[in-house]
Structure 1
Amino acid sequence: MNPVEIEEAVSNLALEPFDRVEFPFQFLRAFGNKDTAIARLKAGNTNQSDVPGAVLQRGNIHIAACAPGAVDDTLKALRESPKTASQKVKFILATDGEAFQAEDMNGGGTVACSYAEFPDHFGFFLPLAGITTVEQIRESSFDIKATGRLNKLYVELLKDNPDWASRREDMNHFMARLIFCFFAEDTDIFLGEGLFSKTIEQMSARDSSDTHLVMAEIFRAMDTKPADREAAGIKRYANQFPYVNGQLFSGSTECPRFSKIARSYLLHIGSLNWQKINPDIFGSMIQAVADDEERGALGMHYTSVPNILKVLNPLFLDDLRAKLEEAGDNPRKLLNLRQRMAKIRVFDPACGSGNFLVIAYKEMRAIEAEINKRRGEPDRRSDIPLTNFRGIELRDFPAEIARLALIIAEYQCDVLYRGQKEALAEFLPLDSQNWITCGNALRLDWLSICPPTGTAVRVQADDLFSTPLDQAEIDFENEGGETYICGNPPYLGSTGQNRTQKEEIRDIANGRSNSPGFLDYIAGWLMKAADFIKIVDGKAAFVCTNSICQGIMVPILWPIILSDKVRLAFAYQSFKWKNLASNNAGVIVVIVGLSTDAVSPVLFETSDGDVHTRRVVDNINPYLTAGENVVVEKSRIPMSCVSTMTRGNMPYDAGNFLLSSDELAALELSDDERSKFIRKIIGSDDFINGKHRYAIWIEDQHLQEALGISDFAQRIEMVKKFRLSSSDKGANALARRAHQMKTLQIGNNATIIVPAVSSERRPFLPVGYLDSNTALTNLAFALFDAPLWNMALIASRLHLVWIATVCGKLKTDFRYSNTLGWNTFPVPSLTDQNKVDLTRCAEDILLAREAHFPATIADLYDSEAMPDDLRAAHDRNDEVLERIYIGRRFRNDTERLEKLFELYTKMTAKGGRGKAA
């Protein structure tokens, strides 16, 4: 269950008659526990509670519904229960149907409220549903509640108005108007508490037949100036609404028809307290209402708030706060800072529903309020114009919501810092200027939206709240001001792009790359941002998938971005941009900040999971480590003195050459035939999980004998037909030797195997050593008959951090490459003694594995269950190798990478054995 579904279930539970016996089970069911789990609890098959009448769920909650007036005593009993500690309970909860109390046993606070109010605290209990929560959701559960109700209304209206399904733009515009009305009636923008909802309830028929007409008349009034209302014939009940305009209510006032259910939903939404709306993530929540793809992910945007600040703080907010601290109470310095802030533009060219812009605006208003307070001007009107918070969004509804969220944020800031009276006096009518552009950011000229200087700019843009306009004049109060680009552009890999998107990337690269087709879609925003800040001397920072700093993307993208003028000003190394979806790992991202300033870059290094430590460095390279701007390119041969690595054998056989044990037995081959025509064969998964497969292995000199075996002859014929039917000419040519795989290679003595993909959870790469009778598929890499010390290199922590950085990942798993990871791996010159020592280390690793036979590689290299002797063997291997590199152990992976890039730079400067970067 997602948070929206949980909120609804909890709210429904609070409305039901209180049942002391059933409440604990109903509560757990509301947080996603399945009927089977509830049945086990009821049957007493899990850990029994030692508090009378209580239910205990191990690792989650100890909950009791008690007699009237006994909540305090019951909560104390739950707190002091030995079972609460021994069963690692997260929460304790007691209620008598009147009072409700709960505690987070991990120090996360308490809840004490009436029973009817406990749904308002549902966010407190989200860990029960496997959702890792953050503080914001505990304080902003209203947003989830409002979104869930709006979603119900939206779905119901589309069901009742099928013709509006093809008019989504009109439907979304209608929803934006509704949201404004709900907010306005609870914040005194509309004079009279609940004016909008009460007018709909009183003036429309209970059978809902004219609800749409009453609402349309209210919308018409808000688009008509008071002096014109009599002539326009505005009805009396609508005349009490203020003139809003701002083009939010201009154009058609048509509304969808309401069923009785839809009208009921509408009035229920109006009964919520919309003063609590949080515009930080309000936009994302409301966007999810209208987006079919996002509706299934309702309520999953909250953790974006602290992550967005990871972008905005080092981009410019930290500097503003530092200047505020430096100014102290000096009136002149404070005035200079306020004047500077009034000219700052924040530009999000992938703004969605405006989260980055809203948070930037609120943070700047907080700094400005402190300035005004220190200068003795607490009631001063803000000098920060909304029009300096600009965005581009491809879809119309998120663009509308972005503007509406900013309007709401401005009003809330005015109330907070200046007071309700002053805020209301200046709020209406809304400003009609449009500062969110609806269009394709990769096709639009960003300089037309954020020019270097100027006070009035004419841009090509659509008016978001009425019919499209050819041009709109937009005031820009930023003469001599700063421009900061930020955002979270769409994630789309090169293989997921359509033809139009690939053309967009190619046009932006504009001959600056020979391989733009390999670039992720997000690269378009990075290239345009780099080009932009060269002209305006601005700064830019984006949340990006970490693929842009790994693998083949680096040598294609970063030479375009980095130049003598543009550099990486700050960066966050890889972390998970988590959402609130249950069991959702989140996408792996980095944050990169670009600048034309010469200040020392700041690197936020991953030190423990998603924890970052701040370090000032001389330079940040494209791999987001400290060091020169080196890029690692593929090399056909090893650049160090190591053995050659090749990919295993590609069958290209339509499944005819590979056999399971049962399929092999069914062939009924003689011992001589098995010896001559069968080889063991494994790929990455086989090696890691201890699986066994076999391959038909026919060498040319034995072909005639093989054809005499009927099953072999049939399989060879099927392979031939398969290859001839391919549109690939290379496959057609392979049909001439249909008795063999595409490649047919095996070690004479032994083979070192390296899986092509390996889990990120393993502390070392699971490299292996195979006998001469075992072949590899193309899903693994091989060093045939290589000295064993090569295995020691591959098994090292040094090599793991190298390939994790330069090869990239498949989702979160390590993705190996011989040309990019092995051939480029910097290895110092090794003495004969070094090779002897490393050979012994590799042998010790193999012996430690053998001691745990028949445990698989997956078993042995589980990070939480790795045998001590095997871990010790790897530690000895790392110590021997690292002393060869620097005479001691490396302190951390950051130091390892910096040394490897230093060696790589020297290696390529000398020409190496491969292609220099």
Structure 2
Amino acid sequence: MNAVEIEEAISALAEQPFDPDEFPYAFLEAFGRKSTEIKRLRSGHSNKSDLDGVLQRNHIHIKTCALGTVKETLDALRDSAATAKGKAKFILATDGQTLEAEDLSSDVPPIVCDYPEFPDHFGFFLPLAGISTVKQIRESAFDIKATGRLNRLYVELLKDNPEWGTSERRHDMNHFMARLIFCFFAEDTDIFSKADLFTSTIETMSAPDSSNTHEVIGELFKAMNTKPEDRAGAGRARWASVFPYVNGGLFSGSTDVPRFSRISRSYLLHIGNLDWKKINPDIFGSMIQAVADDEERGALGMHYTSVPNILKVLNPLFLDDLREKLEEAGDNTRKLLNLRNRMARIRVFDPACGSGNFLVIAYKEMRAIEAELNQRRGEGDRRSEIPLTNFRGIELRDFPAEIARLALIIAEYQCDVRHRGQKEALAEFLPLDAKNWITCGNALRLDWLSICPPTGTGVKMHSEDLFSTPLDQAEIDFENEGGETYVCGNPPFKGARKQSAEQKSDLAFIFQGGNDYKDCDYVAGWYLKGAAFLTVTKGALAFVSTSSVCEGEQVQHIWSRVFDSGSKIIFAHRPFAWRNNASNIAMVTCVIVGLGADTARVLGVFDDETLKHCHSVSPYLIPGEPIFVTAQKAPVSANLNQIVSGSMPRDGGNLLLGNTEKQELEAKAPGASKFLRRYSGTSELTNGTIRWCLWIEDGDLGAAKAIPEVAERIRAVEAFRLQSKAKTTNGYARIPHKFAQRSHKNGNAIIVSATSSQNREYLPADWINDQVIVSNAAYVVYGGELSQFACLVSRLHLAWVATVCGRMKTDYRYSKTLGWNTFPIPPLTEKNKADLNRCAEDILLAREAHFPATIADLYDPAKMPADLRAAHDRNDEVLERIYIGRRFRNDTERLEKLFDLYIRMTTGKGKKAG
């Protein structure tokens, strides 16, 4: 269940008569607990409550109670031995009139409310539904509720007006929804002359059978687009004359309204009865855009960027600087005036703005700074000098673009009320400004300078200089022109292999030649275009993007071009988890990269919430020189042997056998055992899957063919290779008894997984003998020493691989040329090698002690055996002391040392940036 569905289920429960016996089970069902779980609780099989309540282990302890005893009951639940033993995260008590609840796993304030109001706190309990909550969703019950109700109305209207869902009329439908949202907000915030004016007028003037609802709404829209002095001549209805003139383009154009059924009319009135003063444009805009997006509607209420994540971009980009200047100014009126004048000229530009949450947050934060500034100057009621039109965006889809503009309008009104008062806010709110400063279009094709020029003169660069085509719309000059422009946002996360043909074409257009763009994420286009934009604009930019843009081969493709344009990285957030609030949506590992001109001051690198100041930032997002790690044909470290891909069968499966097939073959032909070897790739290594292969040397071919079952498999391989359309595969038909590509060597070896979950703290690898054939789905080091195995399974090596090799989705992706061959190891003494050998042996012995547990089992971070973890800790300490004489404090420090060593070891091989 998503948050909207949960809110609706909880609201329905609150509206039903209170049943003390059924409430606990109905409550859990509303949060999506499985029917089998509820059945077990009802039967008492899994209910271990010691207070005659309902206790679901690891989740919640609920008890209904007599009137007036809620507090005492909650105290009893908190002190209950069963609550502790069952590891309940929540406790809840209610008597049907009052409800109290606590989150025992955090310091979130408890809930105390009237029973009918508990749905307003549904976000408090979202972990029961497996949804990772953030503060914003806990506090946005209204936004979730409004989104759900609007979605039901939207779906119902499309059911009765299918033509409004077509591409020809989808814009009209979306525009209609934006108008409704404004009216609901306006009637609850005194923008209209009377509370509930819009909703009550529809209820009064439209027939209960809904036959004229569309006409009534259409008349209201026409009135709000007609000046009062013109209404009589325009034939506007008298009952609509009480509505103000809104203008602003919101009610201009077509005033068609879809037809309503009884059900959709009822939905409309119900939505109007919500308290729209509670709307939060930071979050609401992102959620409401899902209403109009068929693909996103299934995760309704989940898609928004949290305010803390937005501030990770905006604070270091420019907000922290404004706050510092405010602090420095103190009560000096001249300095405060200079800061206010500066802020009035600042432009914020999001060229992938969606529903505008970056712009809204930037606006609200700047208004808060301005309000404090005005208070210090004794001008607390002064009108804001921060123009709304200085917050500009580009969005590909029209509905989010419209919602972005509406969200900014709402944010402006709310800021005026908060900082200046309701009276002043109302006096200046209507009519709306007709300018449209949110552009609908393809940001990688539009001319950013025509939308956000450095001055108000409409200066443009030539298209070939800014990878752009001119914007065919009237330009809007900035108020108080000539200030800084800060570019920010969260451009689309589209990997190189998931882009549409049109998106690939966009990137080719931006890269202007070559094939590098084919391996780059879609967001690369924003970085490159943004860097070019900064060449003619005073300011800086920062984007959120997947961490892959700072990993692997993309680093040189993207950042060499960025640096060549004259920009440099001025701050960065190292990779962090960017989770959607829905538990079934994959986590994305993201970075934030801030760019400025090469004369800009460098702030540093954020690792979690810790900022490390530095003079320069590497494209791998660590303090240090801008350098690109390039693929190496051989290890740069003398202590490492060559690594190769495993052997490739290209056999149609005929040389490979599962464990059962192997046993059946040996039962029929015992002599076949001589030709069977263990076969291992990434899956076999990590999951312990047992597979085998036929490994036949040329000198043994006659003996192998003498076994009918083996001879048949050899013939099948030959047939498979001859039927292939690949000429190379056809050629291998001459040696059907052998793997197509053989890298195997006798002796001990190290097998390395080609991929690994990012949750693992160490890379999957093992020490094997020559009876194991490594497949081409893994890498292998032949003739390697145990000391090399110790290096490979270290925290140091994982940090290096995670940074320079890139990822497959969120998994680490190993590379022999970028991971192993570039890994810098200082010269090792014989004692160093002996110490590392012992560490490797301890790791292998610790694994052996837990046989038959697999690597996947052993390296699950939550289940890693203590002796194995201790062995790895010793290995990490021994290796890290070889580098710096002590343990590294964190991965950032590890990488700084590794990159410094890499530069020194590859002088003349590596390539410095710039």
Q: Tell me, yes or no, whether TM beats 0.5.
A: yes
* 1:764-843 to 2 correspondences below 5 Å: 764-843=762-841
Q: Which residue of 2 aligns with 1:622?
A: 619
In structure 2, distance between residues paired with 1:773 and 1:458: 68
1:396 equivalent in structure 2: 398
Taking the aligned partners of 1:823 and 1:10, their CA distance within structure 2 comes to 57
Asked if the contact 1:137/1:302 (under 8 Å) is kept, the reply is no
AA of the residue aligned to 1:568: I
Is residue 481 of structure 2 the alignment partner of residue 479 of structure 1?
Answer: yes
Question: What is the Cα deviation at residue 563 of structure 1?
Answer: 4.2
- Contact 1:134–1:303 (8 Å) recurs in 2: no
Superposed CA offset, 1:70-113 (max 9, x none): 22332232233232333332222222212222223333112222
> 1:168: Cα distance to partner?
1.2
* Cα deviation digits, residues 775-818 of structure 1 (max 9, x gap): 01111111122233221221222212111111122233221111
Q: TM-score, normalised by structure 2?
A: 0.95
Q: Is the 8 A contact 1:719 1:738 kept in 2?
A: yes
Are 1:570 and 1:592, in contact at CA under 8 Å, matched by a contact in 2?
yes
Deviations 1:610-657 (A, max 9, x none): x42111112110111111111111112222212111011122222222
Per-residue Cα deviation, 1:106-144 (whole angstroms, up to 9, x for no partner) = 331122222111111111222222222222223321000
Q: 1:16 to 1:679 in 2, by over 3 A?
A: same
Report the Cα offset of residue 724 of structure 1. 4.1
Q: Tell me if structure 2 keeps the 8 A contact 1:157–1:258.
A: yes
Query: Does the Cα contact within 8 Å between 2:450 and 2:475 map onto a contact in 1?
Result: no
Q: Residues of 2 paired with 1:750 and 1:730: CA distance?
A: 31
- CA-to-partner distance for each residue in 1:707-750, whole Å, 9 max, x for gaps? 45444444344434444444433333333433332212322122
Stretches of structure 1 lacking an aligned partner (at least 5 in a row): 461-468
CA-CA distance at 1:845 after TM superposition: 2.6
How far has the Cα of 1:41 moved from its partner? 1.2
Structure 2 equivalent of residue 550 of structure 1 = 551
Q: Mean Cα displacement is larger for which, 13-22 or 688-697?
A: 688-697
Q: 1:796 to 1:200 in 2, by over 3 A?
A: same
Amino acid at match of 1:532: F
* Other structure's SS at 2:282 match: helix
SS at the partner of 2:906?
helix
Give the distance between the partners of 2:887 and 2:247, measured in 1 at CA: 68
Match for 2:624: what amino acid?
Answer: G
Write the deviation string for residues 484-505 of structure 1: whole angstroms up to 9, x where unpaired: 0000000011111122212221
- Shift in alpha-carbon separation, 1:622–1:781, aligned structure 2, 3 A: same
* Pairs within 5 Å for 1:585-664: 586-596=587-597, 598=599, 600-606=601-607, 611-641=608-638, 642-664=640-662
Instruction: Measure the CA separation in 2 of the matches of 1:902 and 1:222.
Output: 65
The answer as to whether partners of 2:449 and 2:460 remain within 8 angstroms in 1 is: no
Per mean C-alpha deviation after superposition, the further-off stretch among 672-681 and 487-496 is 672-681
Q: Name the counterpart of 2:70.
A: 71
Match of 1:178 among 157, 177, 180: 180
Distance in 2 (CA, whole Å) between partners of 1:159 and 1:374 is 56
| 1:303 positional shift | 5.5
Q: Does 1:410 align with 2:412?
A: yes
1:578 maps to what in 2? 579
Identity of aligned residues (%): 64
Q: CA RMSD in A?
A: 2.3
2:744 alignment counterpart: 746
SS of the residue 1:296 aligns to: helix
Structure 1 counterpart of 2:907: 909
Report whether the alignment pairs 1:20 with 2:20: yes
Q: How does 1:893-908 map to 2 (within 5 A)?
A: 893-908=891-906
Q: Distance in 2 between matches of 1:627 and 1:507?
A: 32
Q: Distance in 1 between the 2:886 and 2:475 partners?
A: 65
The residue number in structure 1 matching 2:2 is 2
Work out the CA distance in 1 between the residues paired with 2:881 and 2:472.
68
Secondary structure at the aligned position of 1:536 is classed as coil
Which letter maps to 1:172? N
Q: Report the alpha carbon displacement of residue 751 of structure 1 after superposing the two structures with TM.
A: 1.9
TM-score by length of structure 1 reads 0.95
Q: Is residue 2:378 matched to residue 1:381?
A: no
Specify the alignment match of 1:32 in structure 2: 32
Deviation at 1:217, TM superposition (A): 1.2
Q: Secondary structure at the match of 1:292?
A: coil
CA distance in structure 1 between the partners assigned to 2:372 and 2:598 by the alignment: 28
Q: CA deviation at 1:909?
A: 1.0
Q: How many matched pairs?
A: 903
Cα distance in 1 for partners of 2:126, 2:835 equals 53
Contact 2:388 2:408 (8 Å CA) reproduced: yes
Matches within 5 A, 1:268-287: 268-287=270-289
1:57 maps to 2:19: no
The 3 A distance-change label for structure 1 pair 279 and 261 is same
Distance 1:871 1:34, change over 3 A: closer
Distance 1:880 1:901 in 2: 20
SS state at 1:391 partner: strand
1:236 and 2:256 matched: no
**Which shows bigger deviation, 18-27 or 500-509?**
500-509
Structure 1 residue 33 displacement after superposition: 1.1
Q: In the alignment, residue 2 of structure 1 is paired with which amino acid?
A: N
Q: How far apart, in 1, do the equivalents of 2:715 and 2:261 lie?
A: 67
Q: Look up the SS of the partner of 2:91 in the other structure.
A: strand
Give the Cα–Cα distance (whole angstroms) in 1 for the partners of residues 750 and 729 of structure 2: 29
1:848, distance to aligned residue in structure 2 (A): 3.0
In 2, the alpha carbon distance for the partners of 1:398 and 1:204 equals: 30
Larger deviation: 751-760 or 558-567?
A: 558-567
Paired residue for 2:466? Answer: none
C-alpha distance in 1 between matches for 2:136 and 2:339: 30
- Give, in whole Å, the separation in 1 of the partners of 2:287 and 2:870: 50
Instruction: After superposition, give the CA deviation of every residue in 1:280-320 in whole Å (9 maximum; x if it has no partner).
Output: 11111110111111111111145521100110000000000
Correspondence 1:761 to 2:755: no
* CA gap 1:825/1:459 in 2 versus in 1, 3 angstroms: closer
Residue 880 of structure 1: aligned partner: 878
Number of the residue aligned with 1:335 = 337
What is the deviation of 1:766? Answer: 2.7
Q: Quick check: 1:304–1:579 contact (8 Å CA) kept in 2? A: no
Distance 1:233 1:613, change over 3 A: same
Letter matched to residue 230 of structure 1: A
The 1:92–1:849 alpha-carbon spacing in structure 2 relative to 1, beyond 3 Å, is: closer
C-alpha displacement at 1:34, in angstroms? 1.5
Could you report, residue by residue, the CA deviation over 1:323-382 in whole angstroms, capped at 9, with x for unpaired residues? 111111111111111110010000000000100000100111111111111111111111
Q: 1:455 to 1:748 in 2, by over 3 A?
A: same
Alignment-derived partner of residue 466 in structure 1: none
Distance in 1 between residues matched to 2:779 and 2:796, nearest whole Å: 19
Match of 1:143, as an amino acid? D
CA contact 1:457–1:474 (8 Å) conserved in 2 = no
Q: What residue is the counterpart of 1:680 in the other structure?
A: 678
Query: In the superposition, relative to structure 1, how do residues 208 and 718 fare at CA in structure 2: closer, same or farther (>3 Å)?
Result: farther
CA–CA distance in structure 1, aligned partners of residues 499 and 304 of structure 2: 28
Q: What amino acid is the match of 1:74?
A: T
Distance 2:912 2:312 in 1: 37
When structure 1 is superposed on structure 2, of 664-673 and 800-809 the one drifting more is: 664-673
Residues 510-551 of structure 1, C-alpha deviations (whole Å, 9 max, x = no match): 24x652210110100011111111221320000010001111
* Structure 2: unaligned runs, 5 residues or longer: 463-470
1:916 Cα deviation from its structure 2 partner: 12
Tell me if structure 2 keeps the 8 A contact 1:720–1:738.
Answer: yes
User: Deviation string for 1:804-835 (max 9, x for gaps)?
Assistant: 11112223322111111001111222334433
Which moves more between the two structures, 85-94 or 188-197?
85-94
The 3 A distance-change label for structure 1 pair 81 and 879 is: closer
Q: AA paired with 2:560?
A: P
Amino acid corresponding to residue 794 of structure 2 in structure 1: S
The CA deviation at 1:889 is 3.0
- Counterparts of 2:84 and 2:605, CA distance in 1: 37
Cα gap change, 1:292 to 1:126, in 2 (>3 Å):
same
Q: Is the 8 A contact 2:604 2:615 kept in 1?
A: no
